[in-house]
Structure 1
């Protein structure tokens, strides 16, 4: 299935945008609660710097990736504090365990001023927004976010993805206008292929045979059977199961539309968790696992361990957006196309739309300076602000070539790129464009993306923003279904659960009301489709 990718501009997107930019949405309870706390708009400059004349301090809760250094030591936050007159104190929580800490934050109602790199799902944003813990942002965007507002005008699908049917925006996304930053590439050890006189795999059966050779024929040449044929991240977020599932699902005709395990067939939503193609996918992964071709730590490894394996050169096949983690040995790997599955499917099912990481930034109801906070974050949606965030200081960390920032060779040799920027590790609220993507989109990554492009879906629909009542229903249904699916798919892959129990698995999905959830997604899709 070879299909071209294109962006979508839907009627609902235009409606959402018009509501946002015109400021037509009704006032929200959180606005009223917060009004007595807000700094006067006259104290906040709508353009230029500093943002405020008198220094203020903000507290932000944030995820920190293994590759990052402390935020307080990053040039972007040191320099921007002087430029903006706003000092930010970050509470940094590691990727592993971040979701639990975030849940506790809202449950205890011990809120910071804002959440940065917060990984809020659409359902979480609506839940905490309707509860009054997050404030609506649409009017603040209109008045204090000229950069983000301009992006919404250029890409109306941003408004569609983040605006509720009531016209509220509770969180800002990462905006990704460069295609290679929206997919995980399929990296294979070409040095091992060459040594063993093997061709790049084209089908899932080819991949199986290559992985067997990686396991048995000592491609690293140390005389030990210590190679890792295939590995993947241990966590992709609830609802998508193990990351290995969406990374391989396209070979079995299974897409991830609307931010979920969904195929769109003749404008019909099909949640595929219980269908026979998913069974075949899990059986294939079970075969790899049982024959020690799939890394047994794929269920438990930390993000740091996964990244270290990429850089070790001792992995045959893995998935990642870019080549940052294996730069010193980049020539050892090459990107390959999606694999053709047993029924001829060859789809790049994993990927993101222009508004990626939809809940990257949010402002809470305890914030006394929401206008200044919006001006503060808006800078990172400009080319200038994004360059500072991603590259640090000109001369010290990067140099400009034809107007494009590149890390200096001296700085690259330090290996400290991830230490100076919060973008490394993903999910930071900012603009990722062609002009600021030289490090994550070098020639090797561009070539890997070209292998995926012919197999991208024609339209990649973002997770829908349900109305508040429906969002609560979806939240309840998905809480049970996602947990059950994640647990059972893991058991099927490891062999802890026999495929003889597949009928029971399907029956339980029915009991957990998967059909009702499918109808809710169908209704949402009907409102946004072209």
Structure 2
């Protein structure tokens, strides 16, 4: 379940250009919020189980990943049906072609009761919500979703990430509160450090000297200069990894600093120039992997397991465990940059936007919301992620761990929709043992002091603004990525920086900044 943060943060804004052909007549009002229907539905208890006294059947459209078995065979849904008295018929669509099938449901208006692990985009949520095909959930959450409400009260960035400019919530995200699942750790070869009598680097200058020693002083002892001092995932993933050392943040899902509530897109800034110059120095001196811009994910993971890499980045220690070199590595803190900055990249708490939504044909929205809310607490998340106690997992100091026999079976994807990603649920410290073992926890402790107090996800824009941003970012993002790659690789001289800045201006980066500023201002007003 690794996250490619660099790709996520620097990629083009994903906004569907959907054609909604059946949003005209015979649509329920968005003002109902399921209330009138709730009055004619089965009586829904506000707390406890079962959720409904009389058995209830719901249809949910869902994505099924290649690693999954049929949802009806999963213990989580079999056991939860008995607890809740709600039977769910899943309409399963494979990952390949899922979006097309999802779009067809809305276009034909042949809707299920809910969409589960649906990957709705913010624009889809706004379109289908304002068009009456999805119902707003904000009022229902207050009464029928205590787990979600508690999380939103604790982490205000969740509410801002899923609330439309008009104040509606049409879709629920996955929520990640454990820091270790929001960051790539900084793994450094401690065997090489000890052999060369080096300490963990604290600054960008010290990191440079450590990487030079890894390159020149034969730490693997084979008499060859074949060590890889530093590597990272393909492309510009190295930029967000190192950006925090130069005071650059990634707020609102983009290359944005928030300074006294002012949005600053920093791509043409002096700080970004310093960052790219530093990365260029590492790359030109063969301290940064020469295959950075060409290697595939499999190659990168393989390098983690060789023990012949000095410094790399990954959320977990899984690739190292596979080749038994894990003890060779230790987590280190982000290095301090030339201006004293030391910020760690982290994904927002709300993740996997649009993981769950309730449609307007649903006659039991209260019960449906209560059904999914269970998975936003530790008890429900344990059931969803780990299956049955004894059969699939055991408790150690109150924390669930897969049993050794079940791990060896390789059947995790058959018992839980968690495998395959995108499920609507909570990932907290109490349910993260598989992705947060002791070595990862120790590495995360080095990062925790430098994590942002709040990381705003991309705000929800109205449809017109989303289209404007999409047009602007298509050109700006492509240009930024192409030029930044050239700056790092040495194919473009930094004498051209002024020209780079001017081109960004011509591409209307200031207009893009204003659109984000307006969205952030509205976000602050909603609090």
- TM-score between the two structures when normalised by the length of structure 1: 0.76
For the pair 1:323 / 2:317, whether they are aligned, the reply is: yes
**Which residue in the other structure is 1:285 paired with?**
279
Task: State the distance in 1 between where 2:258 and 2:202 align.
Answer: 25
1:504 deviation in Å? 2.4
Task: State the distance in 1 between where 2:414 and 2:203 align.
Answer: 39
Contact residue 481 and residue 509 of structure 1 kept, 8 A: yes
Sort the Cα spacing of 1:489 and 1:192 in 2 relative to 1 into closer, same or farther, 3 A. Answer: same
For the pair 1:378 / 2:373, whether they are aligned, the reply is: yes
Give the superposed CA RMSD. Answer: 4.0
For the pair 1:259 / 2:253, whether they are aligned, the reply is: yes
1:383 deviation in Å? 1.8
Sort the Cα spacing of 1:128 and 1:244 in 2 relative to 1 into closer, same or farther, 3 A. Answer: farther
After superposition, residues 48-67 of structure 1 pair within 5 angstroms as 48-49=49-50, 53=55, 55-61=57-63
- Residue aligned with 1:246, SS: helix
Task: State the distance in 2 between where 1:365 and 1:479 align.
Answer: 33
Task: State the distance in 1 between where 2:365 and 2:376 align.
Answer: 17
Task: State the distance in 2 between where 1:505 and 1:476 align.
Answer: 19
Contact residue 357 and residue 427 of structure 1 kept, 8 A: yes
Task: State the distance in 1 between where 2:452 and 2:343 align.
Answer: 7
- Residue aligned with 1:88, SS: strand
Gaps in structure 2 of 5+ consecutive residues: 1-26
Task: State the distance in 2 between where 1:302 and 1:216 align.
Answer: 26
After superposition, residues 440-479 of structure 1 pair within 5 angstroms as 440-479=435-474
After superposition, residues 123-522 of structure 1 pair within 5 angstroms as 125-126=125-126, 129-130=129-130, 135-139=135-139, 141-142=141-142, 145-221=145-221, 226-234=226-234, 242-299=236-293, 301-327=295-321, 328-348=324-344, 350-363=345-358, 374-412=369-407, 421-423=416-418, 427-522=422-517
For the pair 1:42 / 2:41, whether they are aligned, the reply is: yes
- Residue aligned with 1:322, SS: coil
1:285 deviation in Å? 2.2
- Residue aligned with 2:95, SS: strand
Gaps in structure 1 of 5+ consecutive residues: 1-27, 236-241
1:342 deviation in Å? 2.7
Cα deviation, 1:299-325, whole Å, max 9, x if unaligned, reads 455555544443444433222333344
Contact residue 125 and residue 354 of structure 2 kept, 8 A: yes
Cα deviation, 1:358-396, whole Å, max 9, x if unaligned, reads 443345678898666544433311222200222222112
Cα deviation, 1:250-274, whole Å, max 9, x if unaligned, reads 1111111222211122332211011
- Residue aligned with 2:351, SS: strand
1:123 deviation in Å? 5.1
- Residue aligned with 2:338, SS: coil
Task: State the distance in 2 between where 1:447 and 1:285 align.
Answer: 27
Cα deviation, 1:107-160, whole Å, max 9, x if unaligned, reads 996798566555555456435645667554435545654432343344444223
Task: State the distance in 2 between where 1:138 and 1:207 align.
Answer: 48
Cα deviation, 1:465-506, whole Å, max 9, x if unaligned, reads 344544443333333322332333233333344433322221
Which is greater in Rg? 2
Cα deviation, 1:337-367, whole Å, max 9, x if unaligned, reads 111223332222x113433344433456788
Cα deviation, 1:43-93, whole Å, max 9, x if unaligned, reads 5855635878365553313666xxx55565764456556764213244343
Match of 1:86 among 76, 85, 88: 88
